[in-house]
Amino acid sequence: MCEVSMNIEHIKKVDPVVAEQIEKEFERQQNTIELIASENITSEAVMEACGSVLTNKYAEGKPHKRFYNGCDHVDVIEEIAQKRACELFHMDHANVQPHSGAQANMAVFMAVLKPGDKVLGMDLSNGGHLSHGSPVNFSGLYFDVKSYGVDEYGNIDYENVRKMALEHKPKLIICGASNYSKIIDFKKFREIADEVGAYLLADIAHIAGLVAAGLHPSPAGYAQFVTTTTHKSLRGPRGGITMCDEEFAQIIDKAVFPGMQGGPLEHIIAGKAVALLEASKPEFKAYAEQILKNAKALAQGLMDEGMDIVGGMTENHLMTLDLRKTGKTGKDMANVLERVGITANKNTVPDDPQSPFVTSGIRLGVPAVTTRGFKEDDMTEVAKIIASAIFSSDNELGLHNLRERSLKLCKKYPIYMRIGG
């Protein structure tokens, strides 16, 4: 259980309208089972760092090479964050300034590519990310992106990736995903990249906490570039990190600033530093181990209830419900789940007949509920609630009863103990 107190006394005095919404959001988080795979619950220490006086400091540039004076202390903090990121992920260099995972990826694009260069990335509808080449994102708008996907079993077809690489000769290959439930073979990706003379970027935003805990193979030693967010399974503040081999350190730093963003968010960087320290502790490994147990229990529980899971299993923190046989859409069923107190997101499935705005799937992840303290038996109950809600989505009384069951779990594992003045 994450026992955190939140003091919003000053906000209540200055801006009661915003304070009211913060309190309502607190109640929503407290009374909702959070299964959005990209969300988590930070520690009190991380939140304090993000809400500290560091938010007042402007610090364009790198530590000790700033464009502003008065940066002595933020220099130390940023260097601490860099060192901890390198140690945790076994990389030579880390830039902790990117504001998000997409910008962490953008830094790599800007460092080693020119507009129009060829890139091979994972298709968004098959589990990739917008910044891996989606035509509506910078990555697809300014670069020639070819996309690989998964096979009928939900696995990356590495031989197909190799064939595409040999055919298109990309300058950059991206591995990593926003919705892929299997172990990623970074060694195979590096072999493919070497065969065609491409750089390899491993985006571990979703699995960073598992990699840090040694529970998922690391891309270190295989990928020249490793990017991550800090707010998913890593359980830190919202932000990104771009890591690389030493030979690319200078061009990555230049790509981040002045290439794509100005002053870094030093209060968030402090939160990253704290989260990286927390992720190095034995307690975090135990947490990551529980993530894997909870994910497997949820997937098995859903299948026991007659639900289909893309790939038939999970090897990490997430999974995707395939709703096609139910005749229902991800958009509608995500809304139904919200009514029974479970937050998830609609998501495409491979070869989805629905549009990305409707979808035939729902993505589910367990980092946040694991932080709350949920165990395997609780995940089995969650699976039963989900399946019952989907199979009886028109039964108002049934949905009300399911809401009571989810609320019971929430009360069993409170996230924050107090909010107010």
Q: Give ∠ CA 322-325-328 in degrees, rounded to 5.
A: 75
> Residue 294: which of 243, 370, 364, 240 has the closest Cα?
370
274 and 137 in a common domain: yes
Instruction: Specify if 352 maps to a domain.
Output: yes
Specify whether the CB–CB gap between 367 and 291 falls below 8 A: yes
Q: Quick one: pLDDT band at residue 6, thresholds 50, 70, 90?
A: low
CATH at residue 397: 3.90.1150.10
Instruction: Specify if 43 maps to a domain.
Output: no
CA distance 199 to 193: 6
Tell me the average pLDDT across 18-22: 95
For residue range 306-346, list pLDDT tens digits in order: 999 999 999 999 999 999 999 999 999 999 999 999 999 99
237 and 92 in a common domain: yes
Query: Rounded to whole angstroms, what are the CA distances from 306 to 302, 329, 331, 360, 405?
Result: 7, 17, 20, 16, 20
189 and 109 in a common domain: yes
CATH at residue 105: 3.40.640.10
Burial class (CB in 10 A: 0-12, 13-18, 19+), 289: middle
Tell me the average pLDDT across 1-18: 78
Tell me the average pLDDT across 115-140: 93
CA distance 207 to 179: 10
For residue range 28-72, list pLDDT tens digits in order: 999 999 999 999 999 999 999 999 999 999 999 999 999 999 999
CA distance 390 to 165: 41
For residue range 170-191, list pLDDT tens digits in order: 999 999 999 999 999 999 999 9
- pLDDT at position 2 over 50: no
Amino acid residing at 305: E
Q: Give ∠ CA 191-197-198 in degrees, rounded to 5.
A: 80
* Residue in this structure with the two tokens 């990104």, named with its chain if needed: 240
> Residue 323: which of 359, 288, 287, 357 has the closest Cα?
359
Report the side by side order of strands in the sheet with 118-122. 93-95, 240-244, 225-229, 199-203, 172-176, 118-122, 144-148
Domain that residue 234 falls in: 48-279
Q: Give ∠ CA 230-18-42 in degrees, rounded to 5.
A: 20
Query: Rounded to whole angstroms, what are the CA distances from 46 to 49, 188, 328, 415?
Result: 5, 36, 40, 15
CA distance 338 to 403: 9
CA distance 119 to 404: 49
- pLDDT at residue 351, as a whole number: 86
For residue range 111-122, list pLDDT tens digits in order: 999 999 999 999
Residue ending a domain, choose from 252, 279, 306: 279
- pLDDT at position 166 over 90: yes
Tokens of 237: 């503040």
* Residue in this structure with the two tokens 């491409």, named with its chain if needed: 198
195 and 173 in a common domain: yes
CA distance 176 to 287: 22
Specify whether the CB–CB gap between 85 and 91 falls below 8 A: yes
271 and 292 in a common domain: no
Instruction: Specify if 38 maps to a domain.
Output: no
CA distance 370 to 4: 16
Q: Which residues 6+ apart lie within 8 Å of 87 measured at CB?
A: 280
Tokens of 92: 């030579």
Provide the 10 A C-beta neighbour count for residue 104.
30
Domain count, the chain: 2
Burial class (CB in 10 A: 0-12, 13-18, 19+), 217: middle
CA distance 203 to 66: 28
Q: Quick one: pLDDT band at residue 248, thresholds 50, 70, 90?
A: very high
- pLDDT at residue 125, as a whole number: 85
Instruction: Specify if 380 maps to a domain.
Output: yes
Residue ending a domain, choose from 228, 256, 279: 279
Give catalytic residue positions: 58, 60, 203, 229, 232, 238
- pLDDT at position 3 over 60: no
Instruction: Specify if 311 maps to a domain.
Output: yes
Q: Which residues 6+ apart lie within 8 Å of 14 measured at CB?
A: none
Rg of the chain on CA atoms, in Å = 22
Largest Cα span, the chain: 63
192 and 299 in a common domain: no
> Residue 145: which of 185, 90, 105 has the closest Cα?
105
DSSP 203-253: E-TTTHHHHHTTSS---TTT-SEEEEESSSTT---S-EEEEE-GGGHHHHH
413 and 315 in a common domain: yes
Residue ending a domain, choose from 279, 302, 335: 279
105 and 149 in a common domain: yes
Provide the 10 A C-beta neighbour count for residue 376.
14
